[in-house]
Amino acid sequence: MNTAIVSGANGFVGSAVVKYLASQNVKVIALCRKGRDNNVPNTPLVKKFNIELGSIKDIVNKLPQRKYDIFYHFAWDGSAGEARADTRLQLQNAQWTVEALQAAHGLGCKRFICAGSIMEHETMAACYTQGNRPGLGYIYGGGKVIAHIMCMSVAAKLGIDLIWPEITNAYGVGEISPRMVNTTIRKCINKETPQFTAGTQNYDFVYIDDVARAFYLIGKNGKPFHEYLIGSSTARPLKEFLLEMKKSIAPDLVFMFGDIPFTGTNLPIEKFDCTNTEKDTGFKAQISFAEGTRRTMEWIKKVGK
């Protein structure tokens, strides 16, 4: 891998992947919105290019016409917060993903790597269970499922290799979203008592540095038209992760379990199996949840609330 295009290059995962690619001497075209490139590293190996997600197909005519090896697509509007329930936006995200794939083909990329999610599997389980009433968060998951299905067919028609990594739950330094790890760490810093469900549902977390390395290895070694789970290889009930966090960063704080009802879908533990990722790509997570949450807490303290 010599050259890569990365959309969503200023985002939490995208910027980490850009940095890791550059560390491996890969030349990167970093696609990001105008005025939103503060997380993209300033290095001769990385060239920034401003583009709106809705205009992603235009890069075919705007980027220099040269040989690109791979396209990593991370750009996705409404991945957190209330926008996850915006049906129009999530459907549009799926269409934009297809247009990014078509642009990658037009630019001569051999491979297209998209940021899928284990939420796809949870969404399918939640929505295809008789009598179940899935929550609004599964609209985001549905967008990912639609994008995955459409890209498989379009890539097969175009003759470009599609590889679909699926992240379990990425966290770590650089994330500013209100997701559980960030919210809990901030409560720990403020000496507030975090409240959770009973925590019996199966879960997994993977630190951002491991995620970035995984995307590099999947792009380099992954088999075409395969899914690869990016996780810690230590999936277990959520409560065990949270107690590991508590021991690492807040041993004197009380974590309350069972006060919040669980309304999601509990995936079987085998859905978190990373064996194929390890076997085909050589990736295995290295950073424990205790170490990752400690690093994240130190970063949050440093940058402020």
Q: Range of 120's domain?
A: 3-167
283 near 233, Cβ under 8 Å? no
Assess if residue 41 is contained within a domain. yes
Give pLDDT tens digits for 126-146.
Answer: 999 999 999 998 999 999 999
d(Cα 248, Cα 243) in Å, to the nearest integer? 9
Q: What pLDDT, on the 0 to 100 scale, is given for residue 81?
A: 84
- Could you count the other beta carbons within 10 Å of the beta carbon of residue 199? 18
Assess if residue 60 is contained within a domain. yes
Assess if residue 269 is contained within a domain. no
Give pLDDT tens digits for 193-220.
Answer: 999 999 999 999 999 999 999 999 999 9
Q: What pLDDT, on the 0 to 100 scale, is given for residue 64?
A: 85
Amino acid at 166: E
Assess if residue 282 is contained within a domain. no
> pLDDT averaged over the chain?
95
Domain count, the chain: 1
d(Cα 31, Cα 134) in Å, to the nearest integer? 34
Assess if residue 62 is contained within a domain. yes
Give pLDDT tens digits for 150-167.
Answer: 999 999 999 999 999 999
Q: Give which of 19, 27, 117, 125 is closest to 69, Cα–Cα.
A: 27
Give pLDDT tens digits for 230-284.
Answer: 999 999 999 999 999 999 999 999 999 998 998 889 999 999 999 999 999 999 9
The percent of residues in the chain predicted with pLDDT above 70, rounded, is 100
Q: Which two tokens stand for residue 144?
A: 């990912």
Q: What pLDDT, on the 0 to 100 scale, is given for residue 65?
A: 78
Q: Which residue spans within 22-95 are E strands per DSSP?
A: 27-32, 46-50, 70-73
Q: What confidence tier does 15 reach under pLDDT thresholds 50, 70, 90? A: very high
Amino acid at 219: G
Assess if residue 33 is contained within a domain. yes
Return the CATH number at 93: 3.40.50.720
Q: What pLDDT, on the 0 to 100 scale, is given for residue 305?
A: 53
Q: What are phi and psi of 5, to 5 degrees?
A: -110, 135
113 near 165, Cβ under 8 Å? yes
Phi-psi category of residue 131: left, alpha or beta, with phi > 0 → left and psi -120 to 50 → alpha: left
Kindly report the pTM of this predicted structure: 0.95
* Token pair 């075919």 in the structure block, residue: 60
111 near 219, Cβ under 8 Å? yes
Assess if residue 187 is contained within a domain. no
**β-strand 256-257 against 195-196: which pairing, if any?**
parallel
Assess if residue 53 is contained within a domain. yes
- Could you count the other beta carbons within 10 Å of the beta carbon of residue 155? 24
The whole-number average pLDDT for the span 34-57 is 94
The DSSP H or E segment spanning 228 is: strand 227-230
Q: Which residue has the higher pLDDT, 36 or 207?
A: 207
pLDDT higher than 70, residue 226: yes
Q: What confidence tier does 80 reach under pLDDT thresholds 50, 70, 90? A: confident
Angle between helices 289-303 and 238-249 (to 10 degrees): 60
